[in-house]
Chains A and B, each alone.
Chain A
Amino acid sequence: MKEIKATMAGNVWKVQVSKGDKVTLDQEVIILESMKMEIPISAEVEGIVEEVKVEEGSFVDEEEVLLLVKEE
C-alpha cells in the first residue's frame, strides 16, 4: 500500500478522486492550498484508491497521509 503524503502544511482545496478510482502515475489527486499557493499532489504510483483520509477544507500538516493507493 502506498501512502500519499502532504508535501506542505495547508488546507485541502480539492479532492479529485474517491475510493475505488483507478489512478495513474502523474495523475493529480489532491490540491493543497496554503498562503496563496496551490500545490498539486500526484498519485506517484499506478493503482486503485483504497482510502481518502482527508476532506476538502480540512487542514493537514506536512507529511500527513492524504490517500492510500493499492499499487497494481
Chain B
Amino acid sequence: MFTKLLIANRGEIAVRIIKTCKRLGIKTVAVYSEADKESLHVKMADEAYFIGPPRVNESYLNMEKIIEVAKKAEVDAIHPGYGFLSENASFAKRIASENITFIGPTEKIIQKMGNKVQARKTMMEANVPVIPGITLIDTDERSVKKAARKIGYPVMIKAAAGGGGIGMQKVDHEEELMKVLATVIKKSETFFGSGEIYLEKCIYSPRHIEAQIAGDQLGNIICLGERDCSIQRRNQKIIEEAPATFLSEEGRTALHEAAIKAGKAINYTNVGTVEFLVDESEELYFLEMNTRLQVEHPVTEETTGVDLVEMQLRLALGNSVNEVEKSMEECNHSIEARIYAEDPVRFFPSPGTLLTWEFPKMEHIRYDFGVTEGTKVTPFYDPMIGKVISKGASREDAISHLIECLKAASVEGIKTNIPMLLQALESSAFQEGKATTRFVEEHIQK
C-alpha cells in the first residue's frame, strides 16, 4: 500500500479520502488556500501545506505549487478528488513524470473522455448509443440553423470542453438560436479556454442514470451497479440513489453492459462513471464519462459494500478488480442528499459562518461533511458543503430515514437547500419513482 498520500482538493471529499487513508494506515497531506486555513480537511490530515490565495487558479488549480508540496512532503501518491485538477490530463502526466502515482486513469484516457466531441466519437465507434448531434465546424447563421433543423428543436448547445452543467443551454426556437450560441461560445472560451461547440438533440424528460465502473491494468472492467441522479437543479445533481428504481431488469442489464463496453473501448483503468440519459422507453444515450471519483459515490458504497477510495488506491497499485475486497456491510437501497449553502427557493449562493450545524446521530445515516459548527463558508468555492447518505432494507426505508434526519437537522448562520430537499423527498412524484431531470421545474418551482 502507499505510505503517504497528498489530497489535491478541499471540503468534504478531502475529508472523505482522509478517512479511508486513516483506516488503511496511510499518512495524509492536505493542501489549503488562504480561505481554508481553518478547514476540517486541514485539521484532519497528518500534514497540511499552504498553497496560495483563495482564488482557485492561484491555489487548488496551481499544478506546479501542488507538485512542489508533493515533492517536499515526499508523498508516493496524489488523489485529485473531484473537480479542480481531477480531470486534467496534464496534471496526471506531470505527476507521473515525478514518479508519483496519480490516483485515477492514465493521462491518455482523461484526455479522450475530457473532450465531449471526441468522447462521443469514441463511443459511437464502440457501438455505445449516443444522443444524435452535430459538431459545429462553421458558426455562421446558415450552417448553424441548418444543423439545428436537421436535429430538430429543442436542441442543446454545448461547449465541447464543458462540464458540471456549465457551458450548456437549451434552445426551443430558431429565433433564439444565434443569441444562445454566442453566449455559450463566450462562456466556453472564458471557462474552458475553447470555443468548440456542438449541437445535440434535447431528450425532453429523461432520467439521468449512470453506471459505476472499475478497470484494472490487465484490461478487466467490472460494473458496480448504477445510480439514478435525475433530481437536479441548474444541471447539478442534488439527490442520488442506488439502485435506480423503476428500471426493468432488461434495462438495467443493458445499461451495465453499455457501460462496460464504454470502459473496454478506451481500456479504462481505475474507478470511473459512465453517464446516460434514459428516456421513457428505456432507450439509453451516452452523456459523458467522468474519469474520477464521483460526488455521489457513497450510494454505491452503501449498496455494494465496496470502499471506492480504497478500490482506487488498490487499482492504482496494479491490483486486479477481482481482488478488491468488500469492506462494509451492504444494504438494499441508499439515497444521498447534497447540502448546498444556498437559498432553497432561488438557488442563489449563501456564504457565511455556520453558527449551528447539528445533525442527529442515526443508525442508518452516514455523513460526509466538509464543515463543522463555526466553519466559515466562503464565496470562493462550490456551494456543496456536505452530503447526507441514508440506507435501508427498501427504498421506502431509505427515504423515511433521510426525511427523519433532515427534519431533525438544525443549521443556522447561512441558508441551505434542506427545505427544498425535504420538499423533494416528500413529494409523491419522487416517492412513486416518477422523477425525471425536469423534476425541479415541474414539482418544486411550480
Contact = CB atoms under 8 A, between A and B. Distances in A.
Interface of A: 7-11, 33-37, 39, 59, 61-62
Contacts of B341: 35
B141 interface: no
B382 A36 contact: yes
B357 interface: no
A9 B413 CA distance: 12
Contacts of A61: 352
A35 B382 contact: yes
Contacts of B349: 8-10, 34-35, 37
Contacts of A37: 348-349
26 contacts: A7-B346, A8-B348, A8-B349, A9-B349, A9-B351, A9-B352, A9-B379, A10-B351, A10-B379, A33-B379, A34-B348, A34-B349, A34-B351, A34-B379, A35-B341, A35-B351, A35-B380, A35-B381, A35-B382, A35-B383, A36-B381, A36-B382, A36-B383, A39-B348, A61-B352, A62-B350
B341 to A, nearest CB: 7
A29 B87 CA distance: 36
B76 interface: no
A39 B147 CA distance: 32
Contacts of B381: 35-36
Interface string B334-374: 00000001110010111110000000000000000000000
A48 B342 CA distance: 33
A11 B381 CA distance: 12
Given A9-B349, A10-B351, A36-B166, 11 more contacts: A8-B348, A8-B349, A9-B379, A10-B379, A34-B348, A34-B349, A35-B349, A35-B351, A36-B381, A59-B379, A62-B350
Nearest to B377: A35
A41 B435 CA distance: 34
A62 B342 CA distance: 12
A15 B342 CA distance: 24
Contacts of B382: 35-36
A63 to B, nearest CB: 12
Nearest 8 Cβ contacts at the A-B interface: A35-B349, A34-B349, A8-B348, A34-B379, A35-B383, A10-B379, A9-B351, A11-B379
A11 B352 CA distance: 12
A34 B380 CA distance: 6
Interface string B248-281: 0000000000000000000000000000000000
A9 to B, nearest CB: 5
A69 B349 CA distance: 26
Interface string B180-218: 000000000000000000000000000000000000000
Nearest to A9: B351
Contacts of B348: 7-8, 34, 37, 39
